[in-house]
């Protein structure tokens, strides 16, 4: 199987995500993710990308808290939809397999329900590298997601990938207040770069 074919098969290419967003006027609820609000409500605002921002619910919440936000997504349709309902947020088309966000440029890097492919470890490495020293990494996954998508790294693998340059502050499974599509628990990983 070619790299491009595998890229497409796991839903990481732009065509897959553009087709998903074309299928409905709105895919997500528009609410910020619960774990983002829980973990970051008390944080002093600075600069943050929302990795895999989709229609922009998390990015809008962060901006309302005073953060300088960049919404990153592979789907041009998702970005256009997000930009149409918000101001003051920078929206950037980005395929993390091919390109990296700004290195050490952010005090928070948030990635909710973003699949980190085992076949492309540079994706996780690029997300980790975007966190500035002293900054926060927040990765949230659906519990048990790897039972259905084994090509993505499990949360425990991501936690194990963090070396001595990181202090893990939260690594736990929590029930979701708003269960969606059968997902009732989330795995929350929050770490600080030393």
Helix axes 14-22, 76-83, angle to 10 degrees: 50
Confidence at residue 2, expressed as pLDDT on a 0 to 100 scale: 31
For residue range 51-74, what is the model confidence (pLDDT) as tens digits?
A: 999 999 999 999 999 999 999 999
Confidence at residue 3, expressed as pLDDT on a 0 to 100 scale: 34
Helix (H) / strand (E) element for 186: namely: strand 183-193
Q: How far is CA 167 from CA 8, 42, 133, 172, 190, in A?
A: 34, 19, 11, 15, 9
Confidence at residue 88, expressed as pLDDT on a 0 to 100 scale: 84
pTM of this prediction? 0.90
- Structural domains for the chain: 3-193 (3.40.50.150)
Confidence grade of residue 33 (pLDDT, cut at 50, 70, 90): very high
Q: If you average pLDDT over every residue of the chain, what do you get?
A: 89
- 20 contacts: CB under 8 Å, gap ≥ 6: 27, 75
Q: Examine the pLDDT at 8 and tell me if it is beyond 50.
A: no
Confidence grade of residue 6 (pLDDT, cut at 50, 70, 90): very low
Confidence at residue 28, expressed as pLDDT on a 0 to 100 scale: 73
């Amino acid at each position: 199987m070619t790299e491009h074919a595998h890229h497409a098969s796991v839903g990481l290419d732009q065509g897959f995500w553009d087709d998903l967003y074309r299928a409905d006027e709105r895919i997500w609820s528009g609410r910020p993710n619960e774990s983002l609000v829980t973990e970051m409500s008390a944080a002093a605002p600075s600069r943050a990308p929302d990795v895999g921002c989709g229609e922009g619910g998390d990015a809008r919440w962060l901006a309302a808290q005073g953060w300088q936000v960049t919404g990153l997504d592979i789907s041009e349709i998702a970005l256009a939809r997000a930009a149409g309902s918000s101001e003051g947020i920078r929206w950037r088309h980005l395929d993390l397999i091919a390109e990296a966000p700004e290195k050490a440029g952010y005090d928070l890097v948030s990635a909710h329900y973003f699949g980190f492919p085992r076949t492309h470890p540079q994706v996780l490495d690029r997300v980790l590298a975007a966190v500035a020293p002293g900054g926060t990494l927040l990765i949230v996954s659906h519990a048990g997601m790897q039972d259905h998508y084994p090509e993505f790294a499990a949360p425990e693998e991501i936690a194990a990938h963090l070396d001595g340059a990181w202090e893990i502050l939260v690594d736990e499974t929590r029930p979701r207040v708003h269960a969606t599509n059968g997902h009732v628990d989330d795995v929350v990983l929050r770490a600080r770069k030393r």
